[in-house]
Structure 1
Amino acid sequence: MKTYKQNETPEFEMIRAAAPEDEGARQYYFIEQARILWKQQFDGLVDSGEAAARYEGSLLSELQAEGKYGTFHIATFGCQMNARDSEKLCGILEQIGLKGVESENADLVLYNTCTVRDNANQKVYGRLGYLQTLKKKRPGMMISLCGCMMQEPSVIEKIQKSYSYVDLIFGTHNIFKLAELLCCRMMSENRMVVDIWKDTDKIVEELPVDRKYSFKSGVNIMFGCNNFCSYCIVPYVRGRERSRKPEDIVSEIKKLVADGVVEVMLLGQNVNSYGKNLEKPMTFAELLREINKIEGLERIRFMTSHPKDLSDDLIKAMRDCEKVCNHLHLPLQSGSSRILKLMNRHYDKEGYLALVDKLRAAIPDIALTTDIIVGFPGETEEDFEETMDVVRRVRYDSAFTFIYSKRTGTPAAAMEQVPEDVVKERFDRLLKEVQKISSEVCGRDLHTTQKVLVETLDDHKEGYVTGRLSNNTVVHFPGDESLIGKIVDVWLEESKGFYYMGKQVERQES
């Protein structure tokens, strides 16, 4: 579906015709055009006296002092890929001249949506009802939707029919076009602009990004998914796998390090299959080794790893690259080989356990986390007990446990569903077992000194900070804001099951 052009006005066509052909330069051109349009709108509000009522308290003076021309609010639903996309959207809006605010009472509200589970869709519909109330009180407010949920044709039809006050809709493949689409919408005489791409092979580099953290950052290494697990909508909404060039990834990370980043999270739906579609193929293990060479970078994380593609060479790279964190997220989904086959996961229980044995032989103290689905169609008590057996044998540091959510358009949606009460009872049993094991496993480093990356001030205890070990376990210890973003030595005094209490240790000069 692409309905963008039908909304173009002659004025916008003239602006678009003057845009550069290079996509990166083109979008910076539209950022400047959008900046002009927002400034004109803002100046009109100021001249008419309406701005004082719209921007309560000191916000108007703050905007004028910062040279900003309005406000925006981004709400992100879903995974770390969406969170990274939102940082890019935020960067574009900041460049246009808008100021990010916590409240949805803003000039532009953008929902970056997820559609992995149906309740995520319902949450967005509920929030849209609230936004309609806000928009009636705030003429000129713009509402925009993007992300995975927007890739479903039935969703677009519902929004056009029942939420006609939404101004702009775009998907996962063209988030780089936000400024261009805003220009189109602002010149389209209050018509809804919809621009959805079914798929793309395009990757646009060098666009603005506003990072949530100054000291760590997500880095997309690939987009899309080729796996088609029978329960998952992602390949239909994120498209086929496409990898970024290694030189672009390395260049981005070097710039991040120069800007103060010490830890990166390499992101992809299945990072283990990185590089297969490149002109000069490169494996993920080879990419890790290249990134490990970057001076100034301290830590490398990545997700998500599909067990079927986790090679022996990747395990060696994880072992040998000192900057790769001592943690691997390895989704299980089910411990039953029969269910795994129905899920189209391309490994069985025995293969998964053999992989865990290889990992622990190479990296004995590696922390393993996982995803598990309870109540997949056709799951019997015997199948569920197979999952419990894997949990007990692997002894995960933590597990994200989910009740199966039926997603229209996936093969699993047409299978026989497990009764809700049975699923709930199994889920509770699994959660109890996972938490019991996790509380035992996570204390392995008690009474040792470990390196901790300090991330935030402690939300619950004044005078304390919160950080993470290489294995991703959380640590709380006395400290102040000056430690945020630094890697410090911490003595782990007490294990609280899922986190440690500690104290900073001064490093000895050698």
Structure 2
Amino acid sequence: MKLTYPMQTAPIAADVPRSHRVYFEVFGCQMNKLDAELMLEGLKRKGYFLVHDPDDAGVILYNTCSVREHAEERAVMRMTSFKKRKQQEPELIIGLTGCVAQHKQEQLSQRVPWIDLIVGTREFDRLPELIEEARGESSTLLATDMDSPLEFVRQRNLGPNRWHAFVSVMRGCDMVCTYCIVPTTRGKEVSRPPDEILDEVRRLADTGVKEITFLGQTVNSYGKRLGQGVGLDTLLRGVEEIDGIERCHFITSHPRFLRPKLIQAMAECTKVMDYLHLPVQSGSDSMLARMKRTYDRSFYLHVIDRLREKIPDITLATDFIVGFPGETQEEFDRSLSLVSEVGFDHSYVFQYSPRPGTVSDARMSDDIPLDVKKQRNHQLLAAVSAEAESRNQRFIGRRVEVLAEGPSRLDESRWAGRAGDHRIVIWPVQDDEEAGSFVVIEVDRTSSATLYGQRVTGPTQRPTLQISK
């Protein structure tokens, strides 16, 4: 996934020096998106401007993801493409930030020695001063100290889509999943004080933000070292009292920490969306044990039962990994059967690839052939798609409230938005469409991922949902 972020919408003045024109690409997860937003805000305050063409920039930055090898290699290839230009323009600053920078700083400084700056996950708040420092260096400047104090950026200005904002509630991860590099690249779990988070949400509401997404690597373990009973439920109930915020949800959750008081808050707080992303990774107990996920299939199903007891219509998304070392056909079939047993509405499916520095890379053999991984990936996605398509049909003839996001990427004659359960909704454009406004759509057809319909006036309706076991 590649993203670019605007720092301002006004045209750049002709007298802005090239040295203060920044091109920025982002790879990876939602946390990377937020990190990029915070980095760009810091640069803006120091007089930098974003450009959308690297040829116009005097500073080229890549915020990287190390979860999957493909994203890592794409970032390195992007930097490699600027080698000749760097030789011709020594004053050009090329920098790498994020998880790959944190995890592989030494390898990167050897592999792409012409880059100027490598900034890890705990020092990006110093990016403007590090860029200036790099201008005077003859070798790559490394800023990857994991012992640096973790600073949460508290004030920021949003660009387009200002009706939505990500808010980081914590950093790092204490889990030890054998396939995951995140604890190494982002460190131990650190939670922000709840008052600080809610103050940020209030400021965002004052700027016109209507929807908040709380972010954390295991976001529902928030607060475990803060004491006094503070948890994610504290934040959800706090948002309920903030004028201007209409919707709130959170990613990404771990099944182990989805406790009753959090489920109760999700059910009782009217602003919390009826949506949960709850990665399972596998439906096989033996696979889950090798992954060190700290739960088994029955525990996951028990959590789902508790959720649906309180929130019957909740949209459930998940993650699966296929082709993990040693995965047998029987173990994979357990993942397939879990799709229908739970009734997932959406799933990301990832083909396992070994990541240096993880337990699975050090102690397990990547022994599943690529063609088998691809086949299982396809089978699992097809199963989820069929399940989701069947479940979505219950919306036909119903009216749903949608937060309008903007023109559809596939057809500008249509607009797109999300319902209160996070489903994508598409409808024909009308003259008064406005991003960030709420509209009512009467659904007339569906697919596995999308609801389609027409704008109408009047109350919304919840579909009747029957969960088959």
Q: Aligned to 1:332, which of 280, 289, 302?
A: 280
The corresponding residue for 2:465 is none
Are 2:107 and 1:175 aligned?
Answer: no
Please list, as runs of the form range in 1=range in 2, the aligned pairs for 1:221-260 lying within 5 A after superposition: 221-260=169-208
Are 2:81 and 1:133 aligned?
Answer: no
Check 1:383–1:445 CA distance in 2 against 1; reply closer, same or farther (3 A cut): same
Alignment partners' CA distance in 2, 1:346 and 1:148: 24
RMSD of Structure 2 on Structure 1 (CA): 2.0
The corresponding residue for 2:441 is 490
Contact 2:327 2:368 in 1 (8 A): no
Please list, as runs of the form range in 1=range in 2, the aligned pairs for 1:361-372 lying within 5 A after superposition: 361-372=309-320
Q: Aligned to 1:264, which of 208, 212, 222?
A: 212
Deviation at 1:144, TM superposition (A): 0.7
What SS is found at the alignment partner of 1:173? Answer: coil
The corresponding residue for 1:8 is none
Please list, as runs of the form range in 1=range in 2, the aligned pairs for 1:28-67 lying within 5 A after superposition: 62-64=12-14
Alignment partners' CA distance in 2, 1:257 and 1:301: 15
Query: Amino acid of the residue matched to residue 417 of structure 1?
Result: D
Q: String of CA shifts for 1:193-245, please: whole Å, max 9, x gaps.
A: 11111245522443545445211000000000000101100001010000011
Alignment partners' CA distance in 1, 2:342 and 2:227: 38
The corresponding residue for 1:352 is 300
Specify the structure having the higher radius of gyration (Cα).
Answer: 1
Are 2:221 and 1:273 aligned?
Answer: yes
Alignment partners' CA distance in 1, 2:416 and 2:281: 30
Are 2:301 and 1:373 aligned?
Answer: no
**Runs of 5+ in structure 2 lacking a partner?**
1-10, 460-469
Please list, as runs of the form range in 1=range in 2, the aligned pairs for 1:135-150 lying within 5 A after superposition: 135-150=86-101
Alignment partners' CA distance in 2, 1:331 and 1:467: 24
Are 2:67 and 1:116 aligned?
Answer: yes
Query: What TM-score, normalized to structure 2?
Result: 0.90
Are 2:345 and 1:426 aligned?
Answer: no
Are 2:422 and 1:472 aligned?
Answer: yes
Q: String of CA shifts for 1:420-472, please: whole Å, max 9, x gaps.
A: 13322222221221121122222332211111011111233333211011111
Alignment partners' CA distance in 1, 2:194 and 2:288: 33
Query: Amino acid of the residue matched to residue 262 of structure 1?
Result: K
Q: String of CA shifts for 1:251-298, please: whole Å, max 9, x gaps.
A: 100111110100000000011110112264511112211122111110
Deviation at 1:337, TM superposition (A): 0.8
What SS is found at the alignment partner of 1:63? Answer: coil
Contact 1:117 1:405 in 2 (8 A): yes
Q: Aligned to 2:337, which of 389, 403, 417?
A: 389
The corresponding residue for 1:196 is 144
The corresponding residue for 2:254 is 306
Are 2:393 and 1:408 aligned?
Answer: no
Contact 2:322 2:350 in 1 (8 A): yes
The corresponding residue for 2:454 is 503
Deviates more, 1:70-79 or 1:94-103: 94-103
What SS is found at the alignment partner of 1:444? Answer: helix
Q: Aligned to 2:400, which of 428, 446, 450?
A: 450
Contact 2:169 2:215 in 1 (8 A): yes
Deviation at 1:363, TM superposition (A): 0.7
Are 2:50 and 1:100 aligned?
Answer: yes
Contact 2:167 2:212 in 1 (8 A): yes
The corresponding residue for 1:343 is 291
The corresponding residue for 1:41 is none
Contact 2:155 2:200 in 1 (8 A): no
Q: Aligned to 2:410, which of 452, 460, 469?
A: 460
Q: String of CA shifts for 1:309-361, please: whole Å, max 9, x gaps.
A: 10011111110000000110010100001111111111100111111111111
Alignment partners' CA distance in 1, 2:258 and 2:290: 21
**Runs of 5+ in structure 1 lacking a partner?**
1-60
Contact 1:270 1:306 in 2 (8 A): yes
Please list, as runs of the form range in 1=range in 2, the aligned pairs for 1:282-297 lying within 5 A after superposition: 282-297=230-245
Contact 2:179 2:291 in 1 (8 A): yes
Alignment partners' CA distance in 1, 2:28 and 2:204: 24
Alignment partners' CA distance in 2, 1:89 and 1:208: 10
The corresponding residue for 1:48 is none
Contact 1:90 1:210 in 2 (8 A): no
Deviation at 1:300, TM superposition (A): 0.2
The corresponding residue for 1:82 is 32
Check 1:354–1:193 CA distance in 2 against 1; reply closer, same or farther (3 A cut): same
Query: What TM-score, normalized to structure 1?
Result: 0.83
Deviates more, 1:492-501 or 1:263-272: 492-501
What SS is found at the alignment partner of 2:220? Answer: helix
Alignment partners' CA distance in 2, 1:426 and 1:204: 40
Q: String of CA shifts for 1:371-427, please: whole Å, max 9, x gaps.
A: 000011111111111111111111211100001111111111121333213322222
Contact 2:12 2:49 in 1 (8 A): no
Contact 1:331 1:369 in 2 (8 A): yes
What SS is found at the alignment partner of 1:247? Answer: helix
Alignment partners' CA distance in 2, 1:208 and 1:185: 25
Deviates more, 1:173-182 or 1:327-336: 173-182
Alignment partners' CA distance in 2, 1:96 and 1:81: 23
Per residue, is there more helix in 1 or in 2? 1
Query: Amino acid of the residue matched to residue 261 of structure 1?
Result: V
Alignment partners' CA distance in 1, 2:432 and 2:131: 38
Alignment partners' CA distance in 2, 1:462 and 1:212: 18
Contact 1:63 1:99 in 2 (8 A): no
